[in-house]
Amino acid sequence: MKPVRKAVLPVAGLGTRVLPGTKTTPKELLNVVDRPILSYVVEEGRKAGIEHFVFVTGRGKGAIEDYFDHQIELEAQLEAKGKLDILAQLRAELPKPGEMSFVRQMAPLGLGHAVWCARDIIGDEPFAVMLPDVIIDAERSALGQLVDAYNKVGGGNLVGVEEVPEADTHKYGIVAPSKVDGRLATMSGMVEKPAKGTAPSNWSIAGRYILQPEIFGLLAEQEKGAGNEIQLTDSMAKLLHLQPFHAYIYEGVTHDCGDKIGLLRANVALALKRPDLGEAARAAISALL
Ligand code: UTP
């Protein structure tokens, strides 16, 4: 069984739900409290043991590559002004040489297509997919929990899930679980955005996956699905007939920062938890309420 060393982060979407904020700033670089959404996601990946991050970028997303590089003038200014704490924080998050790759998706044809664009860099080994607009606030890295579950079941494919209200299942990719064992279940199927009343469960695929490289062959042939996009879920549903697939309910709070209220909620929740800001944030929010 090969270890999970690489992660694909598709960042080529248009972020239309949070326009106009995303007109000139990539959605993944919108701030939650005082750092970009992407910064939380990369931190989670590193804590899970990911050694190589593959970003699938698109037009207008160049700032992401710059974020993970030195900003020479800024660093010099911070040093001159003695702002050494923030300087150390900036430097600590820089990649090791060769830790990040960037590949271009030339049109946002869907999540499945974005993942397929990373095929040559991933090669013939299992890999993670991390949706870079989803922050999972967890004691232990959510992807790390999935890697542990993957090692426990002996490989195959695994998706992170969270339970959602029945009334909301039509908004998500939904898993059909069979043989449930605590937080882990064997999967018998999955469907992207099922019509109301047809969902096989309320287990929603939440933006963290571990996949085998055989997914790439299926993605290459994948036709458009829900939303007229090439859907990762549709190819995973085919792979499920060929290889083991598990779902794992990770421990943690999921913040979908891709829509306005999710982004607002993430800001409030994570500010309240910060040792340096929590008290002031609580006072400010209470005053508003
Ligand atoms: P979303 O559907 O949430 O992102 O895809 P979006 O398309 O940017 O958002 P809206 O609906 O227009 O507001 C989940 C992730 O997959 C990436 C997005 O960047 C996002 O982080 N994605 C999506 C791609 O990289 N390429 C695509 O073709 C589609």
Task: Please report, for the domain that includes residue 267, its CATH number.
Answer: 3.90.550.10
**Cα-trace Rg, the chain:** 19
Atom of ligand 1 minimally distant from the CA of 57: 25
Helices (H), the chain: 37-47, 62-67, 72-80, 84-92, 111-116, 119-122, 142-153, 215-221, 232-239, 260-273, 278-288
In the reported structure, the alpha carbon of residue 111 is separated from the centroid of ligand 1 by a whole-number distance in angstroms of 7
Helices (H), 210-277: 215-221, 232-239, 260-273
Separation of alpha carbons 158 and 264, rounded Å? 30
Q: Which of 52, 36, 206 is nearest to 136 (CA)?
A: 206
Nearest CA to ligand 1 atom 9: 15
pLDDT along the chain (289 residues), means of 10: 96 94 95 97 98 96 96 96 96 96 95 97 98 97 98 95 93 91 93 90 95 97 89 94 96 96 97 97 96
Would you say residue 109 lies in a domain?
yes
Q: Which of 231, 164, 167, 171 is nearest to 203 (CA)?
A: 164
Separation of alpha carbons 192 and 232, rounded Å? 9
85 Cα distance to chain centroid: 28
3 and 51 in contact (C-beta within 8 Å)? no
Would you say residue 1 lies in a domain?
no
Would you say residue 132 lies in a domain?
yes
C-beta atoms surrounding 174 within 10 Å? 25
Would you say residue 167 lies in a domain?
yes
Would you say residue 274 lies in a domain?
yes
Would you say residue 222 lies in a domain?
yes
Judge if the beta carbon of residue 262 lies within 6 A of ligand 1: no
The distance in angstroms from the start CA to the end CA of the chain is 53
Query: What was the pLDDT predicted at 73?
Result: 96
pTM given for the model = 0.95
Nearest CA to ligand 1 atom 25: 12
Phi-psi region of 228 (alpha: psi -120 to 50; beta: other; left: phi over 0): left
Nearest CA to ligand 1 atom 1: 13
Judge if the beta carbon of residue 105 lies within 6 A of ligand 1: yes
Most ligand 1 atoms within 8 A of CB, residue of 8, 9, 14 to mutate: 14
| Domain carrying residue 97 | 6-288
Residue 174, strand partner residues: 191, 204
Separation of alpha carbons 242 and 49, rounded Å? 27
Atom of ligand 1 minimally distant from the CA of 56: 25
In the reported structure, the alpha carbon of residue 10 is separated from the centroid of ligand 1 by a whole-number distance in angstroms of 7
Judge if the beta carbon of residue 130 lies within 6 A of ligand 1: no
Judge if the beta carbon of residue 230 lies within 6 A of ligand 1: no
Separation of alpha carbons 56 and 50, rounded Å? 16
Would you say residue 153 lies in a domain?
yes
Query: What was the pLDDT predicted at 227?
Result: 84
Per the structure, how many domains does the chain have? 1
Q: How many helices (H) and strands (E) does the chain have?
A: 11, 13
Judge if the beta carbon of residue 56 lies within 6 A of ligand 1: yes
Query: What was the pLDDT predicted at 102?
Result: 97
